[in-house]
Amino acid sequence: MNLKICGMKYNDNLLEAAALRPNYLGFIFYEKSQRYFNGTIPKLPKNIKKTGVFVNAHSNTIKTQITKHDLQAVQLHGQEPPELCAALKQSRVEVIKAFSIKDTFNFQQLEAYETFVDFFLFDTKGKLPGGNGTTFNWEVLKHYPATTPYFLSGGIGLNSIEALNGFLKHSSAKHCYGLDVNSQFEIEPGLKDIELLKTFKQNMPTGTGYEKR
């Protein structure tokens, strides 16, 4: 099971998080976010994928950040069309398209994206495009009809481990590729509690969900 720690903001803190060896570290390039990253990403281990998070940004803006920070993945957390995903694939980065869920979800809207994304990400629908700190009803994903692997996000914390183990053992979770964590591990927006993250990583589910292609 892959781990993505999102909403990194401070260099010393993100280097401490990188020492835990997550698979992905997320940097939010959305100015309205409390976790907006406007610095220079320090050198990270090569096996950690630097992920830029964008909300309805222009393709040129995204490509500029890909080049500037040598991003290996981009996460689109707005109402981006499939055409933008297709254009970003030409930049040879992993493309993650996020969708928000509350109690129900129309999975048909995923069809137009499947050819152009590497992963979906399912987050909780709230006032903000991510980082709301609440969990949606994972039972909705038991009706997931696609084969594209996905990240599970939205309010995941230490108290989620038992529920995660139960969810990931179900056959409907076979396409769950990774867990995306953020606000439940924060001292303040953008500043992560490293000890909490360490405990979570030591206890997070392994060997379940989507196997590496």
Domains delineated in the chain: 2-203 (3.20.20.70)
Burial class (CB in 10 A: 0-12, 13-18, 19+), 40: exposed
Which residue is it, tokens 């994903």? 141
Asked whether the beta carbons of 21 and 196 are under 8 A apart, the reply is no
Mean pLDDT over 162-188 rounds to 93
With a CB cutoff of 8 Å and minimum separation 6, the contacts of 18 are 25, 44, 45, 48
pTM: 0.94
Judged against a pLDDT cut of 70, whether residue 110 lies above it is answered with yes
| pLDDT at position 112 | 98
| pLDDT at position 208 | 61
The DSSP secondary-structure symbol of 13 reads H
- Collapse the DSSP code of 5 into the 3-class scheme (helix H, G, I; strand E, B; otherwise coil) and give the result: strand
Please measure the distance between the N-terminal and C-terminal CA atoms of the chain and give it in whole angstroms: 13
| pLDDT at position 213 | 43
